[in-house]
C-alpha cells in the first residue's frame, strides 16, 4: 500500500466525518481552500497538511472557555462568543438538544459556564480543551 501525503474529496470527507457534498460544495468554495497539488483519477488531490490547516482555521471551533460557576443567559452566551446564537440555544433546549438550565429564578433560564463548556464539547465541530 502506498502512503500518500495527499487527499481526494472522498478521503477528506471520511477523515473529517462529513459528506463529499460538504467538502466539494461548501468547503472547497471557501476563498482560503488550498490549491490542489495533483490529480488522482477524476479528483483533485490536496496536501493533507493544507487540508488539516484549513479545517483547523475555518471549520473547527475552539473549545469555549467560560467562568465555570458563573450563570449565563442564552444572550450572554451568544455575546461571549460561543459560536451559537441565543435563539438556537432556546430552540435546541425545546428539542432536548441543549442541557436543562442550572437556574430558572424569576423565569430566566441560566446555565453555569461548566454546563455550557461540557455541552459545547459534545457539539459537532468543537474541539475539546487542550486538543
- State the pLDDT at residue 11: 95
Q: Which residue would you say has higher pLDDT here, 65 or 32? A: 32
Instruction: Give the count of beta carbons closer than 10 Å to the beta carbon of residue 113.
Output: 19
pTM summary value: 0.56
Look at residue 131 and tell me whether its pLDDT is greater than 50.
Answer: no
Integer-rounded Cα Rg, in Å, for the chain is: 19
Pairing of strands 71-72, 38-40: unpaired
Element (H, E) at 13: helix 9-16
For the chain, what is the mean pLDDT?
A: 88
Q: Which range, 3-12, 25-34, 76-85, has the best average confidence (pLDDT)?
A: 25-34
- State the pLDDT at residue 95: 94
- According to DSSP, the residues that pair with 47 across neighbouring strands are 6
pLDDT confidence tier of residue 71, bands split at 50, 70 and 90: very high
Amino acid at each position: 500500500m502506498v502512503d500518500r501525503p495527499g487527499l481526494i474529496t472522498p478521503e477528506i470527507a471520511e477523515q473529517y466525518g462529513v459528506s463529499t457534498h460538504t467538502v466539494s460544495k461548501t468547503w472547497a468554495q471557501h476563498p482560503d481552500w488550498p490549491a490542489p497539488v495533483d490529480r488522482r483519477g477524476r479528483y483533485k488531490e490536496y496536501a493533507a497538511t493544507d487540508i488539516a490547516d484549513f479545517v483547523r482555521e475555518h471549520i473547527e471551533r475552539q473549545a469555549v472557555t467560560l467562568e465555570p460557576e458563573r450563570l449565563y443567559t442564552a444572550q450572554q452566551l451568544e455575546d461571549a462568543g460561543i459560536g451559537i446564537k441565543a435563539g438556537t440555544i432556546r430552540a435546541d433546549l425545546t428539542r432536548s438538544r441543549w442541557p436543562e438550565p442550572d437556574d430558572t429564578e424569576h423565569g430566566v433560564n441560566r446555565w453555569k459556564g461548566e454546563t455550557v463548556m461540557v455541552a459545547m464539547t459534545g457539539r459537532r465541530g468543537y474541539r475539546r480543551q487542550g486538543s
